[in-house]
Amino acid sequence: MPRAEPTSAGGRYGHYVVPGAAIVLLALASASLLVGVGDRSWDIMVVSRLPRTLALLLAGASLAVAGVLMQLVVQNRFVEPTTAGTAQSAGLGMLTVTILAPDAPIVVKMLCAAAFALAGAAAFLGILRSIPLRSTLTVPLIGIVFGGIVWAGTTMLAYRYDLLQTLATWNASDFSAVLRGRYELLWIGLGLMTAAYVAADRFTIAGLGRDNAVNLGLDYRAVVALALLIVALVTAATIVTVGIIPFLGLVAPNIVSLIAGDNLRRTLPLVAGLGAGLMLACDLIGRIVRFPFEIPAGTVMGVVGGGIFLYLLLRKGGRLA
């Protein structure tokens, strides 16, 4: 998957990227704090708008990082938690613990969802190893089919236990219900992003493929296991807090790759920043388009991300992968 650093826009304008991205991200965060139906009193800011903005930043950044890690492990540009069955498996875990232990603490639900997400990611990798991959487009298609099967089973189970409305809530990824005391699990994502940055060089080498990584002295299995663990925990924490957010982990890494290349040590902060910015922008669009009503941020991200996903698939025969 890793390729040579670009010599066009990334090389000529790279020194403008970070300051410009920081300014745009700050502007979006400020707008998120100011836009809303209620007044701008201190209580509203502290209890509702500030937690919501922080939740958007943390969820967007951590999911973007999870996406780039999954792409390195699978060696394909078109995968991320929602196109590889990982998010759907986490949803199945959430539903399972809701049925078996509805009064379980939120941390227990998150850990159960993470365990199912990890199992789903491992199953996806196992499927890929057992099927001849003649095209780079085969990988995301397999992931989408696998995720669809998992989600169909989850929906059937939810119907059996009269939990379809709960399942729909998880699938909406709405940040309007985020309040102080109801988003703090997302801070786990900050620690996981830090761990990913510390191990960035190892993940980059792992992206070269199993044989090359082993020849370079890397413990390939351990690095892949760490990447999948980070992906599973990030996915679970996000779903438990706000729901499933589609395509974010696919869009952000691809855009950053076009601008700054594939050196994860350098690009990971950009990937996280772009993911956070996209999440803020989608939430603002959802809050403004039907003001004073809201369209869930995940719905907006699904439309925007789906369009970019199709563009990437069709772009010159999928040469990005």
What pLDDT digit, counting tens, does each position of 246-290 carry? 999 999 999 998 888 888 998 999 999 999 999 999 999 999 998
Higher pLDDT, 88 or 181: 88
Distance CA 256, CA 272 (A): 10
User: Other C-beta atoms within 10 Å of 76: how many?
Assistant: 23
For helices 9-34 and 264-289, give the axis angle rounded to 10 degrees. 40
Peptide bond into 292 cis (omega under 30): yes
Q: What is the pTM of this model?
A: 0.90
Mean pLDDT of all residues in 83-93:
95
pLDDT single digits (tens) 20-69? 788 999 999 999 998 877 677 788 899 999 999 999 999 999 999 999 99
Q: What is the 8-class DSSP label of residue 245?
A: -
pLDDT band at 317 (very low <50, low <70, confident <90, very high): low
- For the cut 80, the answer to whether the pLDDT of residue 178 exceeds it is yes
- For the cut 80, the answer to whether the pLDDT of residue 7 exceeds it is no
What is the CATH topology of the domain spanning 9-317?
ABC transporter involved in vitamin B12 uptake, BtuC (1.10.3470)
Distance CA 309, CA 43 (A): 40
Query: Where in the chain are the domains?
Result: 9-317
- For the cut 70, the answer to whether the pLDDT of residue 119 exceeds it is yes
Mean pLDDT of all residues in 205-221:
90
- For the cut 50, the answer to whether the pLDDT of residue 120 exceeds it is yes
* Percent of the chain clearing pLDDT 90 (strictly above): 67
Tell me, what's the pLDDT at 188?
A: 96
172: its two tokens: 């909406």
Alpha helices (H) along the chain: 9-34, 42-44, 50-74, 86-100, 106-130, 138-160, 164-172, 187-198, 200-206, 210-215, 220-241, 248-260, 264-289, 297-314
The CA distances from residue 47 to 169, 186, 292, in Å, are: 22, 16, 19
- For the cut 60, the answer to whether the pLDDT of residue 6 exceeds it is no
